[in-house]
């Protein structure tokens, strides 16, 4: 085949390339010559494509399409935290098998199936390439209910940033908290925030 195929989308998998007649050996030649970048095992991005804003989240989405970016990773996307993260945090339903991804580093949370899609949204990890993520209110609620893991300062900082954003909806936080079993702590946190 030789030259990089115009038929290949900006981000693609080995399977996609093979379906377009690309031999796996050709992929590695392209990778080694810098025409494509390997984001994760079996996931590639054209070097001539527009830069991805969140290449690690994009790679994980291709490796685990049912996963949803959550917790601190979602908080970064929604500009609710300045915390540094060592891995992409994703959620999968408790009943499903967690993805096994060596690179990029991934932390998997297993959430209840009945509330798994609560607050489900998406964002552009790269131009016109959507990745599933929990919305800002669900992200704050998850950080609040998992504050024993992330720390109260992180949860409260995310809450305050959310409340300072135009269009924030405290009632939605309470609705999510009720559905996710953390209504009491969320109501207390909102009372504290309103008294500031």
State pTM to two decimals: 0.89
Using alpha carbons only, what angle is made at residue 84 by residues 135 and 116, rounded to the nearest 5 degrees? 30
Print the domain residue range for 101.
Answer: 55-194
Using alpha carbons only, what angle is made at residue 172 by residues 167 and 176, rounded to the nearest 5 degrees? 145
Strands 88-93 and 106-111, sheet pairing: parallel
Q: Does 6 fall in a domain?
A: no
pLDDT in tens, the chain (196 residues): 456 667 889 999 999 999 988 888 899 899 999 999 999 999 999 999 999 999 999 999 999 999 999 999 999 999 999 887 789 999 999 988 888 888 999 999 999 999 999 999 999 999 999 999 999 999 999 999 999 999 899 999 999 999 999 999 999 999 999 999 999 989 998 988 887 6
Same domain, 85 and 26: no
Same domain, 68 and 25: no
């Amino acid at each position: 085949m030789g030259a990089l195929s115009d038929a290949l989308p900006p981000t693609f998998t080995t399977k996609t390339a093979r379906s377009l007649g690309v031999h796996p050996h050709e992929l590695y030649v392209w990778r080694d010559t810098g025409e494509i970048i390997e984001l994760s095992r079996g996931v590639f991005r054209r070097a001539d494509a527009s830069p991805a804003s969140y290449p690690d989240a994009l790679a994980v989405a291709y490796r685990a399409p049912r996963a949803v970016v959550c917790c601190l990773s979602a908080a970064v996307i929604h500009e609710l935290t300045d915390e540094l993260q060592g891995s992409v945090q994703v959620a999968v339903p408790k009943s499903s098998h967690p993805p096994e991804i060596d690179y990029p580093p991934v932390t998997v949370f297993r959430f209840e199936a009945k509330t798994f899609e609560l607050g489900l949204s998406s964002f552009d990890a790269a131009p016109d390439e959507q990745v599933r993520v929990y919305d800002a209110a669900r992200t704050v609620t998850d950080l609040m209910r998992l504050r024993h893991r992330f720390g109260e300062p992180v949860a409260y900082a995310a809450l305050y940033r959310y409340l300072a954003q135009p269009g924030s909806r405290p009632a939605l936080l309470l609705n999510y908290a009720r559905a996710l079993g953390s209504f009491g702590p969320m109501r207390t946190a909102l009372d504290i925030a309103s008294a500031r």
